[in-house]
Amino acid sequence: MRGRNDIFLWRLQACRHVSVGSCSPPDSAKDGSFSSESNLPSPVEQEQAKAKPLPDLNAKILYEDWDDVPPSSALEEISEEAAVQIIAEPLLPLQSSTLRDYVDHSETLAKLVHLGVDLSQVEKRQKAGQLLLTLDFEKDIKKILLFLKDVGVEDNQLGTFLTKNPYILAEDLEALETRVAYLKSKKFGKAEIAQMVSRAPYLLLFSVERLDNRLGFFKNELGFSVKKTKDLVIRLPRLLTGKLEPVKENLQVCQIELGFQRNEIQEIVFKTPKILTASSNKLKQTFDYLHNIMGIPHHMLTRFPQVFNSRLLRIKERHMFLTFLGRAQYDPAQPSYISLDQLVSLPDEVFCTEIAKASIQDFEKFLKTL
């Protein structure tokens, strides 16, 4: 059996000495001088074939004969010139505390950055970073961007909007459309909805039921008409998204501790909605100074409640300067009357020249004595 295998390998070797693709017999057989029997090696040749090691018919010879280049080995040495030309792709971090490390690997993050999204702010929000890494821009995000543009969010506002509320990218589109439809059913105009959504980015995360409950709360708690309730939340839409506890607390403070009547509270809130979300301590301190130190009565504070939005230090400095000059007169029935609007809203230079009848230098010198 071994002899027959040797004969087969010998014939294969003979064929491989000719050109690639040809397995013709040797030239001596082409003229027909050999019979079919004479093509076999003689016994002596067979013994020589046994003694002579055969060529190694491995993959290397086959590659050389077929003019193919064998694949390079991972252990193959390369020159320094070739090594410096190799560009290695940065590895995706297995874990990171910042989204910046993923921007080069994520088309979604790269496009969000191009839109103006501040990833350093997004990653501070609970689970927002993980959310963005799971979203596909074309499949998940593009439709939300088109929706926001249709609602009225300007192109140059999209980055800021998504920085504040990246969670909207995971919301169901149909649910978002339903919430907008609800606002339209309550007679909010397109421009008003656009303003509300832009100023309160979390607004559309709230269900129709919750939005309806919030509108009902302010209407009933304040005794407002439907129109006044709409005007209130258009000017301060975060009333629909923020917590109600500070609102309830400030309403109680105004009524019980500050002594305003219900109709006065209605007027104050309608003119200055921010009073509902202000710090209750600041509210009480400002009222105490205005009412007990400056002698401003409740009805005057009701006429100009914007004074509660001013810094208490600004009120104190200007009042003391007017008192020093003998011009602190807040009674409209008296000459040289100074309104609360004039007291707090004018720039320093205008306040000094037109209200205090003094120079800005005099005011600055007085402040240094405090």
Q: Which residues of the chain have pLDDT under 50?
A: 1-52, 54-69, 91-92, 94
Q: Given this model, what pLDDT does residue 267 score?
A: 97
Q: Given this model, what pLDDT does residue 90 score?
A: 52
- Render pLDDT for 3-45 as a digit per residue (tens, 0 to 9): 444 444 444 444 444 433 433 434 433 343 334 344 444 444 4
SS3 track for 182-248: HHHHCCCCHHHHHHHHHHCCCHHHCCHHHHHHHHHHHHHHHCCCHHHHHHHHHHCHHHHCCCCHHHH
Measuring CA to CA, which residue among 153, 154, 156, 157 is closest to residue 176? 153
* Distance separating alpha carbons of residues 175 and 147, to the nearest angstrom: 12
178 Cβ neighbours under 8 A, 6+ residues apart: 208
Biggest CA-to-CA distance, the chain: 143
Residue 106, helix vs strand vs coil: coil
Q: Given this model, what pLDDT does residue 301 score?
A: 97
* Chain centre distance of CA 147: 16
- Render pLDDT for 129-178 as a digit per residue (tens, 0 to 9): 889 989 999 999 999 999 999 999 999 999 999 999 999 999 999 999 99
* Distance separating alpha carbons of residues 148 and 266, to the nearest angstrom: 34
Q: Given this model, what pLDDT does residue 105 score?
A: 74
Q: Given this model, what pLDDT does residue 153 score?
A: 95
Q: Given this model, what pLDDT does residue 78 score?
A: 67
Q: Given this model, what pLDDT does residue 59 score?
A: 46
Q: Given this model, what pLDDT does residue 65 score?
A: 44
Amino acid at 308: F
For residues 305 and 339, is the Cβ–Cβ distance under 8 A? no
Residue 63, helix vs strand vs coil: helix
Measuring CA to CA, which residue among 90, 175, 173, 99 is closest to residue 134? 99
140 Cβ neighbours under 8 A, 6+ residues apart: 169, 170
Query: Measured on CA atoms in the order 132, 134, 135, 136, is the torsion positive or negative?
Result: positive
SS3 track for 232-289: HHHHCHHHHCCCCHHHHHHHHHHHHHCCCCHHHHHHHHHHCHHHHCCCHHHHHHHHHH
DSSP state of 98: -
Q: Given this model, what pLDDT does residue 76 score?
A: 64
Question: Residue 267 has which token pair?
Answer: 């007027």
Q: How far are the Cα atoms of 92, 231, 254, 269, 275 from residue 258, in angstroms, in the given order?
A: 59, 26, 5, 14, 13
Query: Measured on CA atoms in the order 48, 49, 51, 55, is the torsion positive or negative?
Result: positive
The model carries a pTM of 0.69
DSSP assignments along 118-185, one per residue: -HHHHTTSTTHHHHHHH--IIIIIHHHHHHHHHHT--GGGHHHHHHH-GGGGGS-HHHHHHHHHHHHH
* Distance separating alpha carbons of residues 159 and 325, to the nearest angstrom: 51
Q: Given this model, what pLDDT does residue 71 score?
A: 53
